[in-house]
A and B are shown apart, each in its own frame.
Chain A
């Protein structure tokens, strides 16, 4: 599967920006909790110190003056459970809560903190010792509290960290996404430009608003387009040259055989010369048709010269050139339909050839006194060109096959190349016109080409 550049860039950028945010968030939280614990520890130590100040010496022994209200006041706390105990080395437990374990004081007399459990409840305790050297005694004061307040503060601190940091992550993600997308937009635009191109548009891609990184890419495409353009124009020149080279000697041949027929005089047996003339005509026609096919074929679209064409005027002008031939063979050629112009986008030469081929087919295969009718009608955004005859028609089973190249309906008169309708089909395809064959009510064949109409403006 193709890798998405956008996704990859985004992943990389997101990793390198969001990971540090997460690490610093954790660090901030950790420091904040540590700092808060230190303050609580300080408070705990102060409580222990104030308790220690109640230790007195009386008659050579340490004693404690703690009236019950004072004890009550000392342990009163809304959130935490406060416990204390005061012990003498010599006299043992003096006062406080026995469930608080007796924790050893520090050797150097400094305060020492412990994390302990009472009934599976975690507590924080501080122990200070008051050496009574003259009495050869040592009093230890321990104060403990449960961790409720510390936990509450930690929870609050975590919220204080999580909310802004999450917002930061969200904003960063959005900005990254937008940034990456915007950064890659020129790539999208380039893709779209290439995608929307018409097949026959071989002009270079615009390079002005393409970012520097894409310049080699577009210039490579442009080089390719240039070479393609050159190859196609070479091909086109070849077709034109071939047409020119072929047409002049064919014309000469036609004239020579015509002259020979005239010179032979009306009395001479003309069969051979007439056969020769028919063959030359066929060859000339075939070469014309092959060149036309080469032009109308898909892939050579750039050869087409698309303009607004009045289909009706074209049918009238093209049909008129066939009138003498139709009259000569005793056929009836006519045109019907709206008088108003029917504008379509097309190559006038090719459309004219399509009409030529259809009329030629009708006159050739419809029988000597065939009645051929051209119709051009416009309806609901479409222009319809029809050529119908009252000849033998094409059986339904043959209607697809007659569009194939070199296919000729069995039993049809000789002289055709079998290319006429395939040319019409290629021309229809090049113009995105719909081509269909059917039979009019009067019998015979009707060929219909439906084009998209264009507006008649100027």
Chain B
């Protein structure tokens, strides 16, 4: 997987690039907005990590031009600015997530994984976590080559949870997404669906955890 890191602080960029490379990503580093623009036009990336304060063209402009070209590339904003308006402005311009410095490496990695999974869900590729593989085109889940026998609703729920693995997915989020499929669901119906899905995931290496009030989260069956 290839990432573009746009960050003007060299020590930070170097360290982050090294860590990400150790995590199995190929990382290109650009120190200013203009270089980032040309890199984005010549190379295909799986995700963009973008700092907002950049010499030359700033992060907002890079993001704006990127979305103006109609690219769906997942963008994670990395910024020392924590003002609400900066977050809102960058999300409005089409950023997918926003992380404020100083951040933890595991958190950045988790968010990056989620972004990439989400974009794959959108583009119809396969998503895999902990031995569970989702084919977002065929809408089918497999564990070690065996297809799980899921209803359309159950698959929908599972996909939402997998796309946002490591994050809490609220009930209202689940209801809203399933209603897009033309189905009406109550909060209780979600509970029932989750209950059934849990039974079917037994032995798959993943489990669904209920979070009080926050919704659900998919995790490895061993609890990690």
Contact = CB atoms under 8 A, between A and B. Distances in A.
A323 B167 contact: yes
A248 B101 contact: yes
A332 interface: yes
B104 A247 contact: no
A250 B22 contact: no
Nearest to A324: B166
Contact of A349 (B11, B84, B101, B104): B84
Given A259-B19, A323-B168, A333 B211 contact: yes
Interface string B27-62: 000000000000000000000000001000000000
A232 B189 CA distance: 54
A373 B105 CA distance: 27
B214 A323 contact: yes
Contact of A334 (B81, B101, B105, B211): B211
Interface string A244-266: 10011111111110110010000
B9 A248 contact: yes
Nearest to A291: B82
B111 to A, nearest CB: 10
Given A319-B214, A323-B217, A243 B15 contact: no
Nearest to B23: A262
A373 B212 CA distance: 8
A327 B218 CA distance: 12
Contact of B15 (A255, A319, A373): A255
Interface in A330-345: 332-337
A164 B217 CA distance: 94
Pick the most buried of B104, B166, B209: most chain A CB atoms within 10 A of its CB. B104
B12 interface: yes
Nearest to B212: A334
A258 B104 CA distance: 9
5 contacts: A248-B80, A249-B12, A252-B11, A327-B209, A337-B213
Given A247-B80, A247-B101, 11 more contacts: A240-B81, A244-B53, A247-B100, A249-B9, A250-B102, A251-B102, A255-B15, A259-B19, A335-B212, A336-B213, A349-B82
Interface of B: 9, 11-12, 15-16, 18-19, 22, 53, 80-85, 100-107, 110, 166-168, 170, 209, 211-214, 217, 219
